[in-house]
Structure 1
Amino acid sequence: MSAYTESSPLLENGHHPDTTNLPFASRAASFMKGEGEPSWAESFKFFIFGTWFNVLLLFIPLSFVSHFLNWDAGLRFLFSFIAIVPLAKLLGEATEQMSVKLGDTMSGLLNASFGNAVEIIVGIAALLKGELRIVQTSMLGSILSNILLVLGCSFFAGGLYHSEGVFNSTGAQTCFADKSTALVIPAAYASTTAEGGCPSPGLLIISRGTAILLLVVYCAYIWVQLKSHAQYFTPDPEHREETVPRMGTAAAGVALLSVTVIVAFCAEFLVASIEETAVRYHIPKAFIGVVLLPIVGNAAEHVTAVWMAMKNKYELTIAICVGSSIQIACFVVPLLVIVGWMVGQPLTLKFANFETVVLFVSVLLVNLLIMDGKSNYMEGLMLLVLYSVVALACKLPMQPLITFS
């Protein structure tokens, strides 16, 4: 019996073609390629050569070589740092292409799951090496980078082209203030209890309990975003960016898995070089975590957010900046606390006093700026100035009084 599907093309005699005698590889490729989708060759040609940005992929072999040949720590850090930047973009591209034919609900879940894959991988790699300070500062840095640096650049750049930007503030504010409050409470608890060098049992309990509750809040947020109140998160039709299908679904899935594996290796090399790089080049770990590492995972998103604002598509800009910060605070940070619990690393939600104040003030400022649903270049400048002050403070060596635990 001929091997075909109902969607197979017909021959001139009206019968489906007989694929039984085709080579196994050809039949498998035909099976894995959906109807009307680009071929595997076309898919990976677009994936690898679709943008000049991918020239940075040349740093991937340099990252591997420098690690295994034990080159200078600064070179190992730099090569791994640059290599992850295009990989983060490819992760986003593969996720977006997979989402084209999966429908709105599955697309939303897929983007929620893989939207911060780089931060999760880097965080787990740091956890396994006991770099708790790097984990905490990088998560804090990811939130601040999205709501201060990226949103500030977007408002400022968009304000130079348009006198005023308009967006739906209801969706943007959902869960936004709540996440900062939840992350501040463990630090407030720790500051009022006597502790030694290690986290107290009470701090671990409240951190892990808060992490579980935040994951519940995140699941509710996904439901609100995709189902119950989807209208608040759906861009205006004229502001919607339709994704052009350039890859087959199966090809995008293979690409997503492959890039994730490569990111895991590069993240391992990056984290392994941080300690020596910080000591040799006198770079505070707080600066590496808060300023440098967030650039790795969010570079492509940063460019997209600013570009959308310049095109007067502020709904998409807000979705990228605020949505990503909510994912970090309500999903990535709690997830890493739970993973730390599983592998025996006492990761807590106790940020240092300075970091706690910075997070609270930043979220408060952004919440006040977006509550009216309008923006201009002056608001963008305010956010950029606050981020610059934070970066400058992190560049200075921290005193032992405000170390992480």
Structure 2
Amino acid sequence: MTLSATNSKLDFHRHGSTTKIVSFCDLVSSVGLVTTEPDEHSQLLDHTRSSEQVSTAHRERRSWVHVLANTFRVIWTTGGSNPLNVLLVFVPFGIVAGAFAVNPATVFLLNFLAMIPLASILSFATEELSAKLGNTLGGLVNASFGNAVEMIVSIIALKNNEIQLVQASMLGSILSNLLLVLGCCFLAGGIKHHEQFFNATVASTMSSLLAVASASLIIPATIYDTLTLKPLDLQDTLLTISRGTAVVLLILYIIYLIFQLKTHSNLLDEENHLEADDQENAHILSPGAAGMLIIIITVTVAICAHYLVKVINPFVEIAHISKTFTGLILIPIIGNAAEHTTAVVVAWKNKMGLAIAVAMGSCLQIALFVTPGLVVLGWTMDRPLSLHFGMFETVAFAVSVFVVVLLIQDGKSNYLEGVLCLALYGIIALAFAILPDHPAGVGGGKVLDNAAA
């Protein structure tokens, strides 16, 4: 029987399988049994192999092109999500300056500017991820990461025992959203529209929660000024009250989330509808891309925040400003710049309900979640962080809440109300610019000072 006939018979019995035939022919040729030239069938098999290799290489090239295209799309979409993202150029400079410990003012300024677009991108990625997770789970994601930058900065400051900076930045973030952001919204919307309307029920609910938060600061301040205890005993009393109050506020925040996302979600239907209309072309990142972006930006924010907090003491000496003013006025700009821009834009578009939801929602997250959460975290870290602020800080917070409650209770706004909010914020900022740092922190006073002695 010839070799060709043998190959044909094997091919017949294998029902078209050619792999085994090629292996048999190669084996026969390798041992020298035959020395025939490749026939037409072998050439066809070689051509098939070459075609498969070319096809595989082509698919690999297409896969890499697809990955690069998606990466470019994510970068382009993320970079264009907010005009503030042009400040991303400061990120590498800030990290390098901090790593090589150059002038403290330079390190602070570069990382300060770098964290503004990082906060914007983190907010954008959080919105993209929450949009894919549904109302309830998405709302929880927003509640957790809505003020992630403030939380990261405060945790690093708390780790470094910068109690004064933590308290000032928390109070400053609340006042910034409550007066500066809301005032700019009222002013911008009022310039274009004679009068704007919003859901008074939602605004009243939010303002009531802020009133409870202000009470949580008033009570420790009152105890501090009324009780006549030894410094160490008074400090322990304030810490005990603050930690218990923090737990109550966290429980209140959980109940508020249930109220907002489940039982009374219909109250926010109008705002949710406006947000969907305003972002109809958004939400184009996949959950995986959004999640990866959140991780990358969070790590980068932590690095920049580490260098910023590290030089805070020499910076305030060089700049001749108080640490309280830095935490109360400057630090909140980092986390609130993106929200400020968004709120003003939607207010200009006559969507005041959404603007108020952005501004006051951020206030509630800080007052009911971030601040008490930091108190509990400080408890576990053995840091004396309390809800005891100085009397001036407590009065400033309470007056701000009172003024905003009066302005929004009628469900409408105009530019004059915006000017009132901005004027009050300017007065408070001026007072803190002149007021020197307390020796032991914003609310620490003689308690912490004597305790340290």
Fold shared per TM-score above 0.5: yes
Provide the rounded CA distance (Å) in 1 between the counterparts of 2:170 and 2:144: 16
Q: Are 2:126 and 1:95 aligned? A: yes
Cα 1:45–1:239, aligned 2, differ >3 Å: closer, same or farther?
Answer: closer
Cα 1:239–1:220, aligned 2, differ >3 Å: closer, same or farther?
Answer: same
Cα 1:163–1:87, aligned 2, differ >3 Å: closer, same or farther?
Answer: same
- 1:157 is matched with which residue: 188, 191, 194? 188
Superposition pairs of residues 1-400 of structure 1, within 5 angstroms: 39-174=70-205, 175-193=209-227, 194=229, 196=231, 200-235=235-270, 239-240=274-275, 241-243=278-280, 244-398=282-436, 400=438
Q: Residue type matched to 2:358 in 1?
A: I
Most deviating of 231-240 and 204-213: 231-240
Asked if structure 2 preserves the Cα contact closer than 8 Å seen for 1:137 and 1:290, the reply is yes
Asked if structure 2 preserves the Cα contact closer than 8 Å seen for 1:156 and 1:377, the reply is yes
Q: Residue type matched to 1:43 in 2?
A: V
Cα 1:158–1:93, aligned 2, differ >3 Å: closer, same or farther?
Answer: same
SS in 2 for 1:234: helix
Provide the rounded CA distance (Å) in 2 between the counterparts of 1:336 and 1:213: 14
Shift of 1:65: 1.3
In the alignment, what sits opposite 1:5? Answer: none
Most deviating of 198-207 and 385-394: 198-207
Q: Residue type matched to 2:142 in 1?
A: N
Q: Residue type matched to 1:89 in 2?
A: S
Shift of 1:342: 1.1
Q: 1:16-36, CA deviations, whole angstroms, 9 ceiling, x for partnerless residues?
A: xxx9x976x959x99xxxxxx
Q: Residue type matched to 1:134 in 2?
A: L
Most deviating of 98-107 and 159-168: 98-107
In the alignment, what sits opposite 2:33? Answer: none
Provide the rounded CA distance (Å) in 2 between the counterparts of 1:164 and 1:374: 7
Shift of 1:40: 4.3
Q: 1:232-275, CA deviations, whole angstroms, 9 ceiling, x for partnerless residues?
A: 22225763333523211101110011100100111111111111
Cα 1:293–1:236, aligned 2, differ >3 Å: closer, same or farther?
Answer: closer
Cα 1:373–1:209, aligned 2, differ >3 Å: closer, same or farther?
Answer: same
Flag the structure with more relative contact order, 1 or 2, with Cα contacts below 8 A and sequence separation at least 6. Answer: 1
Q: Which segments of 5 or more consecutive residues in structure 1 lack a partner in the other structure?
A: 1-18, 31-37
Provide the rounded CA distance (Å) in 2 between the counterparts of 1:86 and 1:195: 47
Asked if structure 1 preserves the Cα contact closer than 8 Å seen for 2:82 and 2:120, the reply is no
Shift of 1:100: 2.1
TM-score for both structures, normalised by structure 1: 0.88
Provide the rounded CA distance (Å) in 1 between the counterparts of 2:143 and 2:279: 18
Provide the rounded CA distance (Å) in 2 between the counterparts of 1:235 and 1:81: 36
Provide the rounded CA distance (Å) in 1 between the counterparts of 2:273 and 2:373: 36
Asked if structure 1 preserves the Cα contact closer than 8 Å seen for 2:127 and 2:283, the reply is no
SS in 1 for 2:165: helix
Asked if structure 1 preserves the Cα contact closer than 8 Å seen for 2:84 and 2:338, the reply is no
Q: Which segments of 5 or more consecutive residues in structure 2 lack a partner in the other structure?
A: 1-55, 445-453
Shift of 1:280: 1.9
Cα 1:256–1:127, aligned 2, differ >3 Å: closer, same or farther?
Answer: same
In the alignment, what sits opposite 2:36? Answer: none
Q: 1:125-147, CA deviations, whole angstroms, 9 ceiling, x for partnerless residues?
A: 10011110000010000000001
Identity fraction in percent: 45
Asked if structure 2 preserves the Cα contact closer than 8 Å seen for 1:199 and 1:346, the reply is no
SS in 1 for 2:156: helix
Q: Residue type matched to 1:351 in 2?
A: F
In our comparison, the structure showing a higher alpha carbon Rg is: 2
Asked if structure 2 preserves the Cα contact closer than 8 Å seen for 1:77 and 1:277, the reply is yes
Q: Residue type matched to 1:70 in 2?
A: A
SS in 1 for 2:132: coil
Provide the rounded CA distance (Å) in 2 between the counterparts of 1:399 and 1:52: 35
Q: How many residues align?
A: 379
Cα 1:208–1:162, aligned 2, differ >3 Å: closer, same or farther?
Answer: same
Provide the rounded CA distance (Å) in 1 between the counterparts of 2:159 and 2:274: 42
Cα 1:236–1:337, aligned 2, differ >3 Å: closer, same or farther?
Answer: closer
Provide the rounded CA distance (Å) in 1 between the counterparts of 2:176 and 2:402: 15
Shift of 1:190: 1.7
Cα 1:49–1:164, aligned 2, differ >3 Å: closer, same or farther?
Answer: closer
Q: Residue type matched to 1:210 in 2?
A: T
